[in-house]
Chain A
Amino acid sequence: MKDNVLAGKVEIPRTIDGGEGRLVTLFGGLGANRERRVHYVFDVGEPDYREIVLPVNGSIDSIAFQLPAAAWYERELHDQYGVEIVGSPDVRPLIFHDHWPDKIFPMIDPVENVPWSNREYRFLEVRGEGIAEVAVGPVHAGIIEPGHFRFSVVGDTVLNLELRHFYTHKGTEKLFESNLLGAGAMIAESISGDNCFAHAVCYSQAVENACGMIVPPRAAALRLIGLELERLVCHVSDVGGLCTDVGFGVVAAQLTRIKESLLQVSAKCCETRYWRGISVPGGMRLDIDSGKVLQFSQGVAAAYRDFANLAQVILNTPSIQNRFEMAGILRLEAARNLAVVGPVARASGINLDVRRDHPYGLYRQHQFEIPVTHYGDVMARCRIRINEAAISARLIQEAANSLPDGGVFISPQAQRDIRGHSAVESPRGELYYWLEAHQGRLTRCHIKSPSFQNWPAMPFAVTENIIADFPLINKSFNLSYSGCDR
């Protein structure tokens, strides 16, 4: 990765086949003399990502009109680093709410005893005859994370949906700073509770890339097993959630049983239900003996067979088809403009998967197909998850049956100054870590979470649907609030 520091407005790189590069992330950082810089990361169709660094002379030019996917990133950049964004379509605060003082930017200012302020936030107002506003959240009617949804409706039909998130913003990127490289993994796995292993692996790989090291093959294989198990658990849980939301209770209860059985085989195999505290820079903290892995893979195979049977029932049930089909369509154009990732992108016709496009670890050695469909509705997202679950179950068996011998950890040797990045296909899509460390301590860690990327696309799928379908559409996206808010 070269450090191309440019001046002025960033030029969006072209992909190898001549298209516009896909924005992966955009974030602030500090140079050697604490001067502010903006990092742009693009996917141009090459195995590695393209990074462009822009110095900040007071302000930068917005690229959000050209690449709408940049809009939230630019707002976050302003809130964290106080960088003025010239020509931005939206200059409202993003990550801090009304209580935060206007002129305190946590990544450059001291943040002890920040006073409580009271500023105003304006929602987009939709005016006209018969238009009503429905405000939902942040506290929702269920066991769900907090977030605010502001609907403008005519009758039952949604004209506009505006999101206000970041209720669970915990200042995580700042929290990484000055932590030891080894300790960072613990923060990473507390970012999104049900994707904790993907976060831990992605963070670990970023450190390993920065140190120029490769983990032992056994650690890589165990990581693949953990990552695919996490995907399987998430997809089983999501399909169950969709059934709950349309009142298909019997099947939903069966799916919670299957999910629980997967968590229990994990607990038997590695003492933790969610694979927490296992992946660290350099490999795995825990070697799992081959006998346990075999037992584990048998448990997974049994759970998957149950799931596959139920999935057929779901897809063939007319009342389910009636609710899922044509609901919450996310069109390809909106999905492209907002650079959507993960199952949501693949359900709207974007053929994208980090495991294949930017392969890491043992994925370099495995062949697998990527399910893609272009309908973009709830059914499409449901089908994508069902098909991906099959691939995950197969990959777990393959990796478990050919588990290499040997150690699972090599201590990373950090030079004085290191910098690295890594991406992982988490269950929700492309997860990307960028980090910099000085003498073994982190100086900056940026997390691009798939949920931060995908949330702005959700309103486009919801408009023109009836408000009663919102929970279903929201569930079919299944985005993390904490992962987005960080």
Chain B
Amino acid sequence: MIFDVVGQTLRQPDRIIPVEALLGNCAGSRMPDIVPTRLTPEIAQRLVEVCPTKAFGSMELDGRSCLSLSYGECIGCGRCMEWGEGAVVAAKEFRWCGVAKKETTRFWNIKDRAEIVVRAPEPEEIHEKIYSLLQRALNIRQLDAGSCNGCEAEITALTNPYYDLERFGMHFVASPKHADMLLVTGPVTRNMAEAVKATYAAVPAPKLVVAVGACGCSGGIFRGSHAVVGAIDAVLPVDGYIPGCPPTPAMLVTGILKVLQRRVGTSTR
């Protein structure tokens, strides 16, 4: 009986996805990217109109009219790709995971048809560098502040044989008292606000907080509801944001590593 299981397990090929193939991968998330050469004022205007969560905006930046795209607000519905006449495509590579809030927004000069690079997130480090950051194990406590369970499903997937978060020395712990990092999902509901604060209080320093998903980053589709307080940063200080609705496991890995790189890599503790 159990030998059948062992036999079957041994027959299985190795499924693990190498870290190089995970970093920056966003397949299956439908995160948009702009093809600047195809951008016109009309298309930009339409993108602002069709986006259901107002992730696209138009503004003046140094007297130039610009299109902005805030990934923290994007729910990956794909309407921009439908209406963008080729100026919007599904992102092939996605580096905006685990970054600071202001870095989750990109700008394009509509007239020059070019991206305005305010400060691009650094390209992903090769994996030796990442392993060197992780001399210590990282204990993660997932906290659901009111999510729909979509982000939880993807976070759970991090422990399956394809992603195997344990290979990075990271694992999920049961108590916030054992946690180095809180991985927080969902808009913070009124009913959960107190429990979210209490959980954060129980986490020992350095209390890394990562906001996960469109709802965690911006409130997403639930922004403005009477039963919702707001995004995670309405209640807790946030170290990094991972957009997506829900973010794929690859985006979660990218984001968690990025937050470590930013916080642990520069800390002197």
Contact of A482 among B148, B175, B176 (CB under 8 A): B148
How close is A258's CB to chain B, nearest CB, in angstroms? 9
* Distance in angstroms between the alpha carbons of A481 and B149 in the assembled complex: 8
Q: Contact between B143 and A141 (Cβ–Cβ < 8 Å)?
A: no
* Distance in angstroms between the alpha carbons of A377 and B12 in the assembled complex: 33
* Distance in angstroms between the alpha carbons of A429 and B251 in the assembled complex: 32
Closest residue of B by beta carbon distance from A266 = B28
Counting CB contacts under 8 A, is B152 at the interface? yes
How close is B170's CB to chain A, nearest CB, in angstroms? 13
Q: Contact between A272 and B8 (Cβ–Cβ < 8 Å)?
A: no
Closest residue of A by beta carbon distance from B142 = A143
Which stretch (B97-105, B120-128, B191-199, B254-262) binds chain A?
B191-199
CB within 8 Å of B: which of A279-308?
Answer: 285-286
Contact of B27 among A139, A143, A146, A267 (CB under 8 A): A267
* Distance in angstroms between the alpha carbons of A259 and B158 in the assembled complex: 12
| Contact string against B for A residues 454-486, beta-carbon threshold 8 Å, 1 for contact and 0 otherwise | 000000000000000000000000001111010
Which A residues touch B191, using CB under 8 A? Answer: 96-97, 99, 166-169, 485
Q: Contact between B189 and A277 (Cβ–Cβ < 8 Å)?
A: no
How close is A349's CB to chain B, nearest CB, in angstroms? 29
Which B residues touch A186, using CB under 8 A? Answer: 52, 75, 77, 221
Q: Contact between A170 and B228 (Cβ–Cβ < 8 Å)?
A: yes
Which B residues touch A402, using CB under 8 A? Answer: none
Q: Contact between A271 and B152 (Cβ–Cβ < 8 Å)?
A: no
Q: Contact between A277 and B27 (Cβ–Cβ < 8 Å)?
A: no
Contact of A256 among B76, B77, B82, B157 (CB under 8 A): B157
Q: Contact between A169 and B27 (Cβ–Cβ < 8 Å)?
A: no
Which A residues touch B216, using CB under 8 A? Answer: none
* Distance in angstroms between the alpha carbons of A119 and B222 in the assembled complex: 25
Counting CB contacts under 8 A, is B9 at the interface? yes
* Distance in angstroms between the alpha carbons of A191 and B190 in the assembled complex: 17
Q: Contact between A254 and B228 (Cβ–Cβ < 8 Å)?
A: no
Q: Contact between A170 and B187 (Cβ–Cβ < 8 Å)?
A: yes
Q: Contact between A194 and B150 (Cβ–Cβ < 8 Å)?
A: yes
Counting CB contacts under 8 A, is B86 at the interface? no
Known: A166-B191, A170-B187. A250 touches B150 (CB 8 A): no
Counting CB contacts under 8 A, is A142 at the interface? yes
Which A residues touch B82, using CB under 8 A? Answer: 285
Counting CB contacts under 8 A, is A100 at the interface? yes
| Contact string against B for A residues 231-275, beta-carbon threshold 8 Å, 1 for contact and 0 otherwise | 000000000000000000011011011011001101100011110
Q: Contact between B142 and A141 (Cβ–Cβ < 8 Å)?
A: no
Which B residues touch A316, using CB under 8 A? Answer: 1
Q: Contact between B78 and A139 (Cβ–Cβ < 8 Å)?
A: no
How close is B51's CB to chain A, nearest CB, in angstroms? 11
Counting CB contacts under 8 A, is B106 at the interface? no
Which A residues touch B4, using CB under 8 A? Answer: 309, 313
Q: Contact between B28 and A273 (Cβ–Cβ < 8 Å)?
A: yes
Q: Contact between B190 and A100 (Cβ–Cβ < 8 Å)?
A: yes
CB within 8 Å of A: which of B160-196?
Answer: 160-162, 172, 174-176, 186-187, 189-195
Q: Contact between B6 and A250 (Cβ–Cβ < 8 Å)?
A: yes
Contact of A254 among B9, B30, B152, B226 (CB under 8 A): B9
* Distance in angstroms between the alpha carbons of A264 and B192 in the assembled complex: 33
How close is A360's CB to chain B, nearest CB, in angstroms? 23
Q: Contact between B5 and A251 (Cβ–Cβ < 8 Å)?
A: yes
* Distance in angstroms between the alpha carbons of A455 and B162 in the assembled complex: 33
Count of residues in B whose CB is under 8 Å from the partner chain: 65
CB within 8 Å of B: which of A112-141?
Answer: 112, 114, 138-139, 141
| Contact string against B for A residues 169-194, beta-carbon threshold 8 Å, 1 for contact and 0 otherwise | 11110110000000100110011111
Known: A168-B189, A193-B153, A285-B82. A257 touches B161 (CB 8 A): yes
How close is A462's CB to chain B, nearest CB, in angstroms? 21
| Interface size classification for chain A | 35 or more
Which A residues touch B226, using CB under 8 A? Answer: 106, 111-112, 114, 171, 174
Q: Contact between A139 and B195 (Cβ–Cβ < 8 Å)?
A: yes
Which A residues touch B245, using CB under 8 A? Answer: 190, 276
Contact of A196 among B144, B150, B157, B220 (CB under 8 A): B150
Contact of B28 among A111, A138, A253, A272 (CB under 8 A): A272
How close is A28's CB to chain B, nearest CB, in angstroms? 16
How close is B266's CB to chain A, nearest CB, in angstroms? 29
Which A residues touch B2, using CB under 8 A? Answer: 250, 313, 317
* Distance in angstroms between the alpha carbons of A106 and B224 in the assembled complex: 13
Contact of B160 among A145, A190, A260, A485 (CB under 8 A): A260
* Distance in angstroms between the alpha carbons of A192 and B228 in the assembled complex: 16
Q: Contact between B147 and A317 (Cβ–Cβ < 8 Å)?
A: no
* Distance in angstroms between the alpha carbons of A253 and B159 in the assembled complex: 9
Q: Contact between A480 and B149 (Cβ–Cβ < 8 Å)?
A: yes
Q: Contact between A190 and B162 (Cβ–Cβ < 8 Å)?
A: no
How close is B8's CB to chain A, nearest CB, in angstroms? 7
Known: A193-B152, A260-B160. A168 touches B146 (CB 8 A): yes
Shortest beta-carbon contacts, A-B, top 8: A193-B150, A171-B227, A267-B28, A111-B226, A141-B174, A256-B160, A193-B149, A193-B148
Question: Could you jot down 29 A-B contacts, CB within 8 Å?
Answer: A96-B191, A144-B152, A145-B152, A167-B191, A168-B146, A168-B148, A170-B228, A171-B227, A183-B52, A190-B75, A190-B215, A190-B221, A190-B222, A253-B161, A254-B8, A256-B156, A256-B159, A256-B160, A257-B162, A259-B157, A260-B157, A266-B28, A271-B30, A273-B154, A276-B150, A286-B78, A310-B5, A310-B8, A482-B147
Taking A172-B225, A193-B148, A277-B77 as known contacts, 11 extra A-B pairs with beta carbons closer than 8 A to each other, sorted by chain A number, are: A97-B191, A111-B226, A146-B195, A167-B191, A167-B195, A169-B191, A175-B221, A193-B150, A254-B9, A256-B160, A317-B2
